[in-house]
Amino acid sequence: MKIDAIKNGIVIDHIAAGCGMQLYHMLGLDKLDCSVAIIKNAPSLKMGKKDIIKIDSNIDVNLDIVSFISPEATVNIIKDEVCVEKRKTELPQRLVNIIKCKNPRCITTIEQEITQEFVLTDRKKREYRCMYCDTKASI
C-alpha cells in the first residue's frame, strides 16, 4: 500500500493501534475539506502496531485531545515535504469540553452551559474525574 507524502500539513504518528478513528472523529477531521489519510495497524518497531493520520492541510490540532486518546503520539508539522517541527504529547492536567460527564445527576448534565471539566487524578491509569461530581471518565 502506498500513501503519498504530503507537501504541507500535519502527520499524527505513534497513535495507539485502533485509536486512529476515535481521534479522527474527536478532532473533527471528518469536517475538513482536504485529504485525510488514516493508516490503521501499521507495523512499528517501538509499538508493535500503530495508527497514523495524515492531514494535507495546516490546521490547529488540539493536542489535549491527541494526548488524551494516545499519550505516546507525536504531531509532526510538514512544510515543503519536510518535517519542520515534532511535538510530543503528554497527558494534560485538565480536559475542558473534550469529554462529557456520564453522571445523570451531575450539574453539567442539568445545566448545559456549564463547562465540562475533568482533572487528571492518576497518570499511570490515565484516570480523569469530573471536577463537579468526581465521576471517573472513560475513553
Q: Judge whether 17 and 47 are in contact, CB under 8 Å.
A: yes
Q: What is the pLDDT of residues 20-35, one digit of tens each?
A: 999 999 999 999 999 9
Residue 106: DSSP 8-state = S
pTM of the shown model: 0.86
Asked if residue 120 and residue 100 are part of one domain, the reply reads yes
Please say if the pLDDT value at position 126 is more than 60: yes
Distance, CA of 38 to chain centre: 13
The residue segments making up the domain with residue 101 are 94-130
Please give the tally of structural domains in the chain.
Answer: 2
Asked if residue 84 and residue 101 are part of one domain, the reply reads no
Q: What is the pLDDT of residue 6?
A: 87
Q: How far is CA 82 from CA 5, 11, 71, 102, in A?
A: 9, 11, 24, 42
- Of 1 and 97, the one with more pLDDT: 97
Q: What is the pLDDT of residues 108-119, one digit of tens each?
A: 988 888 999 999
